[in-house]
Amino acid sequence: MTVQVEHTNSVQKKLKIQVPATIVSARLNDYFKGLSTRARIPGFRPGKAPANVVKQHYGQDAAADLSERLISEFLMEAVREHQLELAIPPLLIATDLPSENKDFNFEVEVHLKPQLPKVSLSALSVEIEGPAPVVDAQIDQELEALRESDATFADIKEARAVGGKDCVVITYSGELDGVKDPKMAAEQQTALIGQNQFLPDFEIGILGMSIGETKTFDVGFPGDYQEVSLQGKTAKFTLTLNGIKEKILPEMTDAFAKQVDPEVQSLLELKLKIRKQLEDNAERSMIQKKRDAVGDLLVAKNPFEVSKRQVEGLAEKLAQQTHQMMHQMGLPHDETEEHAKMLFESSLKKAERDIRLTYILEAISKEQKFEVSSEDIKKRFEDTAKRTGYSVTQIQSYYAAKEENETTSRMDRVKIDIQDEKSLDYALSQATIKLKG
């Protein structure tokens, strides 16, 4: 094997690899020899077809299959021989099809991990906003949210029209192009107005109706509606308002406190617990602020080149996650599509920052010989359980499960996160942190 290395930059190279004809011919012969014992060719008993007939019949498949095998084997050999540390999988640029008595040539583009100079931790100084104290208004807001989640609904006694926050009981049917569709019908359905449970046109049609009233109105379906057959179409609905229910919030008493949280005995105890949770959240947020600030400073103080393709790959992934989140929050598909390019462009800067910081933290970890112990993982799972309400066993099961199309397992990602935090916290211990305010 001969390898020609072309240097694009410090983290990107092109490898031109040539596999000698003798090796290619030997591999082809071995391939056909193994194939001839099981080949099924019309006119011959299984495994009895002559070698030249097998080659003629399976030659194209053999070339494609052997091409993949040769590329995989000799690319890895070239990577080991030239001591290349790959940052992402290689990209195949060009390749021959292997044939007897002929050298096999292929070209790949490889993107490498950067060679970092010694990471500087000297003169690290950052200034960030100080923590805001937890105030009574925040506790009241949390309590109101608990009341809302524990609310009940009762039939209204007075005669009035449907308002913007009512709970309604409705019976309706819909038709498209004069044909009734059972998927657009329901009886005695209960739903809340103003909670995005209905399409806008449907909700507007209900507002202002009185109990017992029947009304017919048009409803337009958006172009990205989940039911493909209704996308972009307008249906006619006939709706009867069967009832209006009003929301009844529970009184703020000790009984209410014990109902929403069996671990407390009084409203005061519930308020103190909420305050503690808010203070814990603020403390975690403050730690993350410090880590982010020191991370930004480490990236700024330690410049080095990183793979452009690696950055673009992460930026695309970040943009897709944001795009999906925007869509789940209710933004129309067309609107989120318009933002797709802008999302990618804005994600490039974050992707490069995150990749650079990952390499810096890896270098700190090696320098300080940080390791992730079983106790570290156990503590991480316990903290996650306390924060999310899931059991430690459930969390362990989640991280033990394999994930499709991912090169790094969930458990390995946990270990990497813990190791990165150790490195970042070490850098934080060497820094001067000034709080504003």
* DSSP assignments along 368-409, one per residue: HT----HHHHHHHHHHHHHHHS--HHHHHHHHHS--TT-SS-
Same domain membership, residue 131 and residue 78: no
E-strand ranges in 249-301 read: none
pLDDT of residue 166: 86
Shared-domain flag, residues 287 and 402? yes
pLDDT score recorded for residue 40: 58
Nearest to 279 by CA among 138, 93, 175, 431: 138
Termini Cα distance of the chain? 66
Q: What is the pLDDT of residue 159?
A: 85
Residue 259 lies in a domain: no
State which of 78, 111, 144 marks the end of a domain: 111
Look at residue 270 and tell me if it is in a domain.
no
Which of 228, 248, 268 corresponds to the end of one domain?
248
Nearest Cα residue to 168 out of 244, 247, 246: 244
Residue 356 lies in a domain: yes
Percent of the chain with pLDDT over 70: 89
As a 3-state breakdown, the chain gives helix, strand, coil percent values, each rounded to 5, of 50, 20, 30
Mean pLDDT of 357-383: 94
51 and 178: one domain? Answer: no
pTM of the complete model beyond 0.85: no
Same-domain check for residues 99 and 130 = no
CATH number for the domain that contains residue 78: 3.30.70.1050
Q: Evaluate whether residue 262 is within a structural domain.
A: no
Q: What was the pLDDT predicted at 42?
A: 60
Same domain for 193 and 236, yes or no, is yes
Residue 239: beta bridge partners?
Answer: 172, 215
State the pLDDT at residue 409: 86
The number of distinct structural domains making up the chain is 3
pLDDT, tens only, 70-86: 999 999 999 999 999 99
Q: Can you tell me whether residue 181 is helix, strand or coil?
A: strand
Could you tell me if residue 432 is inside a domain?
yes
Q: Which residues pair with 110 in a beta bridge?
A: 13
In the structure, what pLDDT confidence band is assigned to residue 338 with cuts at 50, 70 and 90?
low
Domain at 244, CATH number: 3.10.50.40
Is it the case that residue 36 has pLDDT exceeding 90? no
DSSP β-bridge partners for residue 106:
17, 95
**Co-location of 237 and 287 in the same domain:** no
pLDDT of residue 341: 74
- Whether 431 and 332 map to the same domain: the answer is yes
Regarding whether 107 and 59 lie in a shared domain, the answer is yes
pLDDT band, residue 58 (cuts 50/70/90): low
Segment 320-331 mean pLDDT: 71
Average pLDDT over residues 307-326: 86
The pLDDT tens digits for 112-147 are: 999 888 888 888 898 898 888 999 999 999 999 999
Q: Measure Cα distances from 72 to 76, 91, 303, 354 in Å.
A: 6, 12, 34, 30
Q: Are residues 224 and 343 in the same domain?
A: no
Residue 401 pLDDT > 60: yes
Is residue 35 predicted with pLDDT exceeding 70?
no
CATH code: domain of residue 288:
1.10.3120.10
- Mean of pLDDT over the chain: 87
Tell me how far apart the alpha carbons of residues 93 and 378 are, in angstroms, rounded to a whole number. Answer: 45
Between 392 and 120, name the one with better pLDDT.
392
Please say if the pLDDT value at position 178 is more than 80.
yes
Sheet holding 2-9, edge to edge: 2-9, 12-19, 104-111, 91-95
Which residues, 6 or more positions from 21, have their beta carbon under 8 angstroms from its beta carbon? 100, 101, 102, 103, 104
Query: Within a domain: residue 118?
Result: no
Range of the domain at 227: 152-248
Helix (H, G, I), strand (E, B) or coil at 19: strand
Domain-embedded: residue 399: yes
Q: Closest Cα partner for 12 from 93, 74, 69?
A: 93
Whether 186 has a pLDDT exceeding 90, the answer reads: yes
According to DSSP, residue 88 is labeled S
Looking at residue 30, what is its pLDDT?
79
Provide the 3-class DSSP secondary structure of residue 285.
helix
User: Which pLDDT belongs to residue 55?
Assistant: 59
Residue 269 lies in a domain: no
Closest CA to 237 of 205, 210, 208, 263: 205
Packing angle of the helix pair 392-400, 410-429 (nearest 10 deg): 110
Which residue has better confidence, 60 or 260? 260
Last residue of one domain, picked from the residues 230, 248, 266: 248
Q: Using the predicted structure, report yes or no on whether residue 407 has a pLDDT greater than 90.
A: no
- Cα diameter, the chain: 95
Q: Are residues 324 and 403 in the same domain?
A: yes
Are residues 334 and 432 both part of a single domain?
A: yes
Q: Answer yes or no: do 298 and 384 share one domain.
A: yes
pLDDT of residue 46: 58
* Cα separation, 260 vs 252, whole angstroms: 11
Confidence of residue 53 (pLDDT cuts 50, 70, 90): low
**Residue 208 backbone zone (phi > 0: left; psi -120 to 50: alpha; other: beta):** left
